[in-house]
Every structure is written in C-alpha cells, then in structure tokens.
Amino acid sequence: MYYVVSEGLRRFNIPHTFEFLSIINLYARWIREGRLVVDSSWNKEGLRFTVQDPCKLVRQGIGDSVADDLRFVVKKVVGEENFVDVWPNKSNNYCCGGGGGALQSGFVKNRRHYGRTKFDQFAATGADVVITPCHNCHSQVLDICKEFGGKWQTTHLWNWIEKALVR
C-alpha cells in the first residue's frame, strides 16, 4: 500500500503537506527517541534473524534509508549479534517473487520458480527467522520455505517488537 499511495501522489501531482513514511521509519525514529523502548535480552536462545527488503518499499519506494531503518530496528529487537544479512541486500536485493500481483495470479509454479533464488538466499544465511515487513513477501516467503524445505520461521516485524517491548 505504501508504494500505491506514494506513486499516486507523484504520478497525479497531488499536493499534500504531510510527511509520507513507512511504519518501519517510525519504529526506528521512536526507538532512537526512546519512545519505543525495546530490549533484546529475551533472545536467550540466540535465534538468528534475517530480513526481506520489500521491492515496492525499498527498491521502488523510499530506498536504502528504509532498509537501513529495518536493520536498525531488527538489531535492537533481537540483538545485533543475532542478525545475519542477506547478500545482495537493500536496493540490490532479490525479489521474493510474490509481488506485483504474482501471489494472487494463480501461476503458482512460475511464482515458486522465481522465488527459488530468494529461497537459496535465505537458506545461505542459516537464519532461524525471516522477518518480512510486507504481506505479499510474507506469504511468498512462507510458501517457498514450505515448498523447498526451508528451516526458518517467517514472521512480521511487529511480532518481534512486541516480544522485546519493555513494559
């Protein structure tokens, strides 16, 4: 939805006076400001995490700054030592294969074929958890994990923020 709204504002030259951000930018801002207090000490098992950079948000949207904020938030929530990045990453990351309507198109075989590159990228990290801030990415990464025998758990970012919240 981020990309649709931002592209609509740009393409149709719709005047607006609000700052248009992703929730990821806000999470990072709130953590930096101390308004969202998180503690990674819950991760006593040393679960290893990696992330998916959503195409529409990162490569075609805000760019590397939101990818940097995503990594900042994840490291604060799970512990920097428990984060392993994919390569390539950020604006150069591979597409998961589920965006642009592919997830809903019915061409499951094609979608999974394109998702194999992403699967191999995640598998190479050895991560226990793949955090996907985009719903399409989440569903696709979950599907390719099952299809190709991945060993990771696929989750949304907010699940881990909630786990690390200092109350």
- 134-166 pLDDT, tens digit per residue, is 888 999 999 999 999 999 999 999 999 999 999
CATH number of the domain enclosing 23 = 3.40.50
Q: Tell me the pLDDT tens digit for each residue of 59-107.
A: 888 899 999 999 999 999 999 999 999 999 999 999 999 887 788 888 8
Q: Tell me the pLDDT tens digit for each residue of 2-30.
A: 778 888 888 999 998 988 789 999 999 99
Average the pLDDT over 108-127 and give the result: 96
Quote the number of domains for the chain: 1
132, 160 in Cβ contact below 8 A? no
Parent domain of 101: 2-164
Query: Which pLDDT does position 138 carry in this prediction?
Result: 93
Which position has the token pair 């299809």? 147
